[in-house]
Structure 1
Amino acid sequence: MTRFEQPSRRTLLSAVVVAAAASATSPVASASSAAGAHAPTRAAQASSKVRAARVDNRAWTSYNDWRGGTAEGTRAASGARPGLVMASPAGRVDYTDPHTGRTAAWEYARWTSSVHRLAVPSTEVIASWNARTPAGTWLQVELRGRYSDGTNTPWYVMGRWAAGDQDIRRTSVDDQSDGKSSIWTDTFAIDDAASGLRLVSYRLRLTLYRKPGARITPTVWRLGAMGSDIPDRFTVPASTPGLTRELKVPRYSQEIHAGQYPEYDNGGEAWCSPTSSQMIIEYWGRKPTAEDLAWVNPQYADPQVCHAARFTYDYQYAGCGNWPFNAAYAATYRDLQGVVTRLGSLTELETLIAAGIPVITSQSFLASELTGAGYGTAGHLMTVIGFTADGDVIANDPASPSNAAVRRVYRRREWENIWLRTKRYNASGKVVSGTGGVCYLYFPAQPTARQRTALAKVGIR
C-alpha cells in the first residue's frame, strides 16, 4: 500500500463487527460439499508447523499431495516440479468479468483438498498459490472451513487470478460474509475474535479454467494457507541480536515512478509491494524479458517495476498490495516459489537471512516511531536484507527518493515493534491495527539444504 495514511487491512479487520457486509458473493461453479464432512488426513496434520502456538502453515506441493483430495477433471502431473493440471473438463460455465463487463464461456475442472485441521485454531487465514496460467486460462481459489462451534463457513473466494490480464482481470471478491466471518480482500477473518469463536479446520478448492475446446491448461505447483491467532498487543518482547550479515539485493525506489501508469493505483507512489517483490525476484536472478517490457514507456527508468505493478494489480481492491497476488506474481518466474506467512520474531527473520533468504515485511507506524524513515504509514512493504553488528535492521525501503537512497538502517527495537504488534495509535490518537508479522517469502523451487532447514524452522515446506 501507499506510505500515506490510508486504511490498512488490519484497520478494516478491527472494524469488522460493524462493517461486515451481510451478503456473500457466490463463487463461480461452486459445489455443496462441506469442509467438515471429511476427516483430516494424518499427513495433513503431521505437515503442520506450529511456532509459538500462534501460526499454522500447510501447503500442497508434492505429487502425492495432488493425487490426494477430490479431483473433478484434474490430474496430478509428475516431474521435477509436480503440479495439478486439467485432464478433461468437468463442465462449462459463463463468467461475467465485473471489471470489463464481458461475458465468456469457460471449461473448468476442479480439485478439492483433504481437510486440514489447524494446529492453531485461527482468527485469520490467508491462502497463497503458485501457478502458470497461459493465455486463455485462469484459476480460482476458495476456502471452506469449520468453526469451533461445529458449523461450517460457506465457500469463500480467496482470489480469481491469472498471470496476465488479457482474458480476465485478476480480482479479489468483496461482500463475502456469513455473520461469523468475512473476507477482507485476501484475508479470512473471524468477525468477533473476542467471542472465542475460531476456525478449526479448512479445505481449499482450486478451479482451473480454459477456453472451450482448447488443449492448454493452468498448472498449479503450490497451494496452501497460513492460519493464525495473534493476540492483541501494542508492544512485543525484545529479541536478542544473533546475526551480522547483509544480502546483496537490488535497490529500487517506488517514488521515481510517481505519476506513471495511474490506472494501477495512481502510480508509483503506491507501489511499495510490487517494488519490493521485484527487488527479491531479481535477487534470485530472475527478471522480465525485453519482450515482457515492450509495453512500458521507454523513457521510464526501471521498467520492470512498472511491469510488477501491472501484474500484481487487484482490480477489485484497486491496488497492487494484495498479498497472495504478489506471491503468485513472483512464482511466475522460472523455478521460484512465493508464500504469505507470519513470523513471530526478528530471531526467525535472522534464521532466513542467515540462509540467504531476504524477507518482504508489512508494517504500519507513525513517523515518530521509526527513526530515519521520514514518513508515517497505515500500511507499507519493505525488504529486510540483513542486520548490522549491533543487531539493527538493514532494509531496502522503496519509499525512498532514489534507488541510491533505498538502503536504510533502522533501529532494531523500533522496527521489531512496528512489524510484530497488532495494535497501535494513529496520528489522531485512535487505536488501529498492525499486521502482526505478515511477510512474503520468495525462494527457489529446489532450495539448498540450508535453505530448506531455515524455511522449516519458520514453518514452511
Structure 2
Amino acid sequence: MLRRPAAVLALCLVGLLLPQTPTATAATEARQRATPQVQVTSWSSYADFKAGTRRGLKLGRGSVSLLKPKRRTIAGRSYDAGTWTSPWATPGFGATALIPTWEATTPGKSLVRVEVRGRAADGTTGSWDTVADWSRLNKRLPRTTHSGQADDLGRVSVDTWYATSSVASWQVRVTLLRPAGTTQPVSLERVGAVASVDAAAARPTSQPGPGVGTVLPVPTYSQMVHSGHYPQWGGGGEAWCSATSTAMVLAYYGIAPAPAGIAPGHVDAAVDYTAKMVYDHGYDGTGNWAFNTAYAATLVAGDSYVTRMRDLREAEDYIVAGVPLVVSIAFGRNQLTGAPISMSNGHLLVIVGFEPDGDVVVNDPAGATNAAVRRVYDRAQFERIWIAASGGTAYVIRNS
C-alpha cells in the first residue's frame, strides 16, 4: 500500500533479535554492526513474563493468560480483563520513537489492548498511551489504533509512539480482554518494541557482504490487479502494498490460509484476505506495521516483529538465513530507477535477495502484473530512500 512516511520506530527486548545466521561468527558480526541508536527488546519466555507485573493473569510456558480477571468496561461493553506490565526497558540512549509489536491469541470476541509510556532522564514519567486494540478476528470491537493522546512526553501516531524530545526508558502494558462471563482462552505470547533515534542522515552506501548472489524464491503478487476490491478494507490497488507484501512472505513459507469471506474467483485471494486481516479501522488502511506482523504471528512458527536496520548489509544476514524482509520506503521522481511507479510518499515491498554486485532484488507489489513484480534496484539508491524514509524499517517474519 502507499503509506505515510514515518520517522524512527521502536521496540525493546531481553536480547537483540538477530537473524539466525549459519554461524556464530556471523551473528557476532551482526551484533557489532548494530547501531547503538536502535534497540529491540521483547519478552516471551516464562522468565521474561515473570519479571513483569501481572494483574489477574497466570504464567504459562512462554505466555500469560487470564486467571482471576477483573471486570472492565470498554466502549460500553463489559469484559473480563487482566494486565501484564513489562519492566522498564533502558536502551542506553535518548529514544525519540517506539514501535510496539506483539504476538497474541485472541479467539472469538477476545482482544488485547497495547499501551506504552516513557520516562525522561530526569525521572519524569509520562501517562499510559493506548497504541492499539487488536484481535485476529476483529469481532465486537474493531481492530484499531488510537492516534493522538499527546502528553508532556510523547504522542501516538498510528503504530508509532513519538517522544516530545527523548526518553531514557519505556514500558509496555498489555491488557487481555474477553467478553464478561465467557471462557475464551485469550493469551499473550510475546510483546516488545523497537526504540530508536532518527537515523535519516546521509551516510556512505554499505559494502556488499555475504548475501550477494542469493535470491529467495518468494512468490510474486501484484497489488494492482486488486484495484477496486473491497472498499471497506482500503479498495485494493495502490492501497494494498503492505498487505500484498505480507501475503508474499507467508506464501514463501507455504502458508496460504483459506480466504474466508473473499468472493470466489478473485485472483491471488490470499492478498484480499490479508488486507481484511490487517486492516486498521483507526488509520483506515492496511499499512499498520504492527498489525501486519501480529497477523503473521498467528500463522508462522517463528518470530514476527517490526525492527529497524542501519543499512542493507544488515539486511543481507536475513537473506542468508532464508528470511525475506518487508521494508518501508518513500521516493520522489528519478530517485529509484526501474520502479513501476514514478514516486511514492510511502510504499512497502519485499527484499528477496541481492545480485552478485550487491544490487537489491525485490518483489515490488506495485508492478502492474505478477510477472512485473520482480525488480532489481541500485543498492545506493535503494538504501538511501529506505533509511531516509523510515530509518530502515522492516517486518521480520520467520517460520522456523
TM-score (norm 2): 0.91
User: How do 1:173-322 and structure 2 match up within 5 A?
Assistant: 173-191=146-164, 197-233=165-201, 235-242=202-209, 243-289=212-258, 293-322=259-288
> Which residue in 2 is equivalent to 1:85?
65
Identify if the C-alpha distance between structure 1 residues 275 and 329 changes in structure 2 by more than 3 Å, giving closer, same or farther: same
The CA deviation at 1:46 is 6.5
Q: Distance in 2 between matches of 1:169 and 1:85?
A: 22
> Which residue in 2 is equivalent to 1:8?
5
> Which residue in 2 is equivalent to 1:385?
352
Q: Does residue 420 of structure 1 match 2:387?
A: yes
Q: Tell me the secondary structure at the aligned position of residue 276 of structure 1.
A: helix
The residue type paired with residue 351 of structure 2 is: V
The residue type paired with residue 303 of structure 1 is: A
The CA deviation at 1:222 is 1.0
Please, which of 429, 435, 441 is the counterpart of residue 396 of structure 2?
A: 441
Offset from partner CA, 1:207-263 (integer Å, 9 cap, x none)? 000111212221211100100013442x32111112210000011110000000011
Q: Distance in 2 between matches of 1:45 and 1:386?
A: 27
Is the Cα contact below 8 Å between 2:13 and 2:42 reproduced in 1? no
Q: Distance in 2 between matches of 1:45 and 1:121?
A: 16
Identify if the C-alpha distance between structure 1 residues 442 and 48 changes in structure 2 by more than 3 Å, giving closer, same or farther: closer
The CA deviation at 1:152 is 1.1
The residue type paired with residue 85 of structure 1 is: S
RMSD: 1.7
- 118-127 or 379-388: which moved more? 118-127
Offset from partner CA, 1:294-345 (integer Å, 9 cap, x none)? 4111121111111100110110100001110000010111424210010011
Identify if the C-alpha distance between structure 1 residues 355 and 128 changes in structure 2 by more than 3 Å, giving closer, same or farther: same
The residue type paired with residue 135 of structure 1 is: G
Identify if the C-alpha distance between structure 1 residues 405 and 232 changes in structure 2 by more than 3 Å, giving closer, same or farther: closer
The CA deviation at 1:394 is 0.3
Q: Distance in 2 between matches of 1:373 and 1:45?
A: 36
Please, which of 324, 335, 338 is the counterpart of residue 372 of structure 1?
A: 338
> Which residue in 2 is equivalent to 1:113?
86
Q: Distance in 2 between matches of 1:259 and 1:220?
A: 36
Q: Distance in 2 between matches of 1:278 and 1:385?
A: 14
The CA deviation at 1:122 is 0.5
The residue type paired with residue 92 of structure 1 is: R
Q: Tell me the secondary structure at the aligned position of residue 47 of structure 1.
A: coil
Is the Cα contact below 8 Å between 1:287 and 1:333 reproduced in 2? no
- 345-354 or 48-57: which moved more? 48-57
Q: Distance in 2 between matches of 1:282 and 1:132?
A: 22
Q: Tell me the secondary structure at the aligned position of residue 128 of structure 1.
A: strand
Q: Does residue 345 of structure 1 match 2:314?
A: no
> Which residue in 1 is equivalent to 2:131?
158
Q: Distance in 1 between matches of 2:205 and 2:316?
A: 14
> Which residue in 1 is equivalent to 2:104?
131
Offset from partner CA, 1:4-52 (integer Å, 9 cap, x none)? xx74334xx9xxxxxxxxxxxxxxxxxxxxxxxxxxxxxx997357722
User: How do 1:12-91 and structure 2 match up within 5 A?
Assistant: 47=15, 51-78=34-61, 82-89=62-69, 91=70
Q: Distance in 2 between matches of 1:273 and 1:232?
A: 22
Offset from partner CA, 1:405-424 (integer Å, 9 cap, x none)? 11001111111111112xxx
Please list every run of 5 or more consecutive structure 1 residues that lacks an aligned counterpart in the other structure: 14-43, 97-102, 192-196, 422-433, 448-461
The residue type paired with residue 311 of structure 1 is: M
Q: Distance in 1 between matches of 2:254 and 2:285?
A: 26
Identify if the C-alpha distance between structure 1 residues 232 and 333 changes in structure 2 by more than 3 Å, giving closer, same or farther: closer
Q: Tell me the secondary structure at the aligned position of residue 246 of structure 1.
A: coil
Q: Distance in 1 between matches of 2:172 and 2:294?
A: 16
> Which residue in 1 is equivalent to 2:22?
none
TM-score (norm 1): 0.79
Is the Cα contact below 8 Å between 2:80 and 2:180 reproduced in 1? yes
Q: Distance in 2 between matches of 1:250 and 1:46?
A: 34
